Structure 1
Amino acid sequence: MILASASPLGLLLSAAAALAYAVPALGARAMGGVGARRVLLLAWLLHGLLLAYNLLDGPPRFGFAPALSITVWLALTVYAVESQLYPQMRARWALAGFGAVAVVLALLFPGTALPHTSSPLLPLHWALGIAAYGMFAAAVAHGWLMTRAEHQMRAASQAVEGGVPLLTLERLMFRFVGAGFVLLTLTLIAGTFFGEQLYGASHVGWRWDHKRIFTVLSWITFAVLLIGRWRLGWRGRRAVRVLYAGAALLLFGYVGSRFVLEVLLGRVA
């Protein structure tokens, strides 16, 4: 925990973003759809400013909490776009809650400085990996919306996910899975064939560490999901369960391992 190292502006942006997220997370129903959407948009903007400030203020730092923070922000970016196309999609309170938790965690556990390298491929490699996380996070959110909508239908609820059809949610979920799979594939290829240029001589070739194992297992799981959808017509609960399994493996691959190192073991490398 390196809270003392945060700058005053960084602390202010973190507090403002977390508070803005907390408002719709705790009072979305009382505020109404329009009010909650506006406050969530403000929180998203503050969160984006915070991420940009942390990137430009001194050496960039990275760890499990910043990775979660960027992933949640990307998922909210997807929601901000989709809410314009599907205004009836309602996941504001859940996304706002995740946003508040992610901002606070990134403040408490800012991670370690990124390794210095002369390779211009390293920022691209990191961007591909984070973008993959964001796409799969968006897919998981749509899977959760599908599950909730199905439960509402079975309970004969009067309002089924604000009117968003299940088939629409399912189609969007698989689109994000497909996009995330492509990005994850490119990330693995870059790490395998350009490891020396990215990280130095210690990362030549293929290394079977815990991060690589979990990442490859997640890649296989997502591949099975896409093949099952294409060849066997997987959908509904089965598809969502496989999606959750792949997302959990991917989360363990980097975020989980970094959490163990940084929090449980107290190591910074």
Structure 2
Amino acid sequence: MSPERPEEPAGGGGPSDGQARLWVTETLAAAARGADAPERVPGALCAACLRLLPISGSSVSISGGKGIRVTWCASDRVAARLAELQYTVGDGPCQSALDRGAPVVASDLTGGPDARRWPIFAYEAVALGVRAVFSLPLGVNGAAVGTLDLYSESVGGLTERDMRTALWVRDAVTFALMSLQAAGPEAAEVDTEDEVASWMAASEADHTEVYQAVGMVMVQLDLDPEQALDRLRARAYAEGRTVSQVAREVLARRLRFQVEREPQADDDGDRRD
């Protein structure tokens, strides 16, 4: 059972920061304890965000470096699709938050500056029913290792109070990720190896598949890693698939990228394909 939101003081002004932060911590802890299997804990944490904030969904993405990113958890299909969309097009609030190492608020994707800043992402997000996105980088000492991405089906930003809550949630998720990474090599000693593996296995598998596919595309097209990843992204976006799905096609050798040939000229000077 989730802890109840702190009551408003008789004099108004809302609960103290200490009370509110304790509520956030207890709500996330209750969500983790309530998961019926270790691999469901990340999803439970994402779902708990909806009880803490006036949002429609949330996701957590982990950055693998060199533009490679995977979704660690999502509260619903739209949140998962939104996270994958940003990775596929290589743009959006999530990527901006990673680059800046600071929260990014897109309060209206239907028009105005936000829609112009990320035109492709905004168009696709609105088609999914998303109107606003808030991305907060995860990490310590200015080094972002991923993002907490929140979305709303309504236009509008977060209040100052809600932004503080979102930052506390971000801190808690960052701590969870850092704890998992720190526990990795020593997991067997505390009998949590299976739990750690089940939480991270899918993310690591996706990382590996994309890395390997990028390497194959580099060889096929004689490109550098960034260019090869861009080709994977472009193919995924054009076909309405995820980058991971296209990567698996490349690894299975069902898809091979070929160098586009320049049109050649006939003897009379006309160009032919």
Question: Normalising to structure 2: TM-score of the pair?
Answer: 0.29
Identify, as 1 or 2, the structure richer in helix. Answer: 1
TM-score where L is the length of structure 1 = 0.30
Structure of greater relative contact order (alpha carbons < 8 Å, 6+ residues apart): 1
